[in-house]
Amino acid sequence: MSDDEAAMPAIYIDRKEPHLDVDHGALVVRLDGERVAGLPLAGADRVVLRRAGTVSVRLLAELGERGIGLFVLGGRTGAPRAHLLGCPHGDASVRFGQMRLAARSQRVVDLARHAVHAKVTGHRRLIALAMQQRPDLRKPMFDALAEIDGILARLPAVTALEALRGSEGAAAASFFRAYMTLFPDSLGFIGRNRRPPRDPVNACLSLGYTLLHGEAVRAAWTAGLDPQIGFLHALLAGRESLGCDLVEMCRPAVDELVWSLFRDRTLRGDHFRMVEGACLLGKTGRAAYYEAFEAIAVRERRRLRHVTAGLARLARSAAGDGP
C-alpha cells in the first residue's frame, strides 16, 4: 500500500493491528500511530479488513455515506466476522415480494434451477477449457463432461427442489473428480474440504468463496432483497441463504482462478503453512491472491448486480399480486 496507489473497487487491508481512519476522502492506515498509507475512497466499492484492528466512527460514517461496504475477516483462516452493508434499500415492497416468491413452491424451483444451471454450465466450460490445455488429462475431463452433460440435459424436467439439489450435488462431484487431477500431488488436493481447509488448493477455494459471498450479500442488500431468504438454499438461522444461492452461480470463476494461480506458479506450496491441522495462506500469497481475485471480481460484481436487479424486479411484481 502507498499514498500513490490508485483507487480500485475493493481495498484490501492486511496489516497487523491497523488503525483505520478517514482524511479528506481517503482511507488512512496507521500502524503504531504512524501513517503508512492513504487510499482514495472515490471509486471504491468495499473495504476488506483481514486482521484485527480499529476503525474510527468517522470512517464508518464516511463508508456508509458513500455506500461502501466493510467486510471484516478474522481468525487464522480468515472467517467472516462482520459486514457493513450500507444504508438499507428504501423500497420495502421488494422484500415483501421476495417473501411471496419464497412461499410459492413452483417459483422456488424455477429460481433454484436457474442458479444450478448457471453453476453447472460454468463448470462445464471450465472442464472443456482444461481438456484443451491438458490433453494428457483428456480421460478424466471427458468423463466429467459426459456426466455433466447428462445432468444438464435432465435439469429442465426436474420439478422437485430436493431432486434439484441432488442434481447440483452430483454435478459438483463430477466436476471435482476431474478438477483435482489438474493439480500436482505435492499439493495434497484430493477433494473439497473446509473449516478448516487442509491443503493449499482448498485454502484458496475457501478464501475465494468467502470473498464472493460477501459480494453476493452486498449485491442482494443493495438491490433491496433480504440476503437470508433464498430459494436453492433453505431458510436456516444465521445463514444468508440468498447469498449462498448467488455464490453458486459464481463458483466456477473462483475455481478457474485457483487453478490458474497454481498452474502459472503465482502461488506455490511455500506460500502456505500448516497450523493445528489448518492450511494457511501467508501474507505474501494473500497479496497475490487479492490482486488476482480483483481481476475476476469486476466481472462477477457486474453479474451479481444484473441477477439481483432482475430478482428485485420479479419480487416487486410479486408484491403487487393478489393474495
Residue 290, Cβ neighbours under 10 Å: how many? 18
Alpha helices in the chain (DSSP H): 57-66, 92-102, 105-133, 138-154, 161-179, 200-222, 241-263, 283-319
What pLDDT does residue 16 have?
82
Looking at the structure, tell me whether residues 17 and 62 fall in a common domain.
yes
Q: Which of 84, 112, 140 is the last residue of a domain?
A: 84
Residue 4, pLDDT above cutoff 80: no
Query: How far apart (Å, rounded) are the C-alpha atoms in residues 118 and 262?
Result: 25
Residue 6, pLDDT above cutoff 60: no
Do the domain assignments include residue 3? Answer: no
Looking at the structure, tell me whether residues 142 and 246 fall in a common domain.
yes
Tally of domains in the chain: 2
Looking at the structure, tell me whether residues 107 and 253 fall in a common domain.
yes
Q: Per the annotation, does 233 bind a ligand?
A: yes
Structural domain boundaries enclosing 230 = 92-319
What pLDDT does residue 322 have?
53
Do the domain assignments include residue 26? Answer: yes
Alpha-carbon torsion 261, 267, 269, 271, what sign?
A: negative
Do the domain assignments include residue 121? Answer: yes
CATH of the domain at 146: 1.20.120.920
Q: What's the pLDDT tens digit per position in 55-67?
A: 899 998 888 888 8
Answering whether pTM is above 0.75, one says yes
C-alpha cell at 193: 474440504
Listing DSSP states for 181-225 in one string gives GGS-GGG---S---SS--SHHHHHHHHHHHHHHHHHHHHHHHTT-
Q: What's the pLDDT tens digit per position in 143-153?
A: 999 999 999 99
Q: Which of 34, 61, 84 is the last residue of a domain?
A: 84
**Between 287 and 321, residue with greater pLDDT:** 287
Looking at the structure, tell me whether residues 36 and 75 fall in a common domain.
yes
What pLDDT does residue 3 have?
38
Looking at the structure, tell me whether residues 128 and 50 fall in a common domain.
no
Do the domain assignments include residue 1? Answer: no
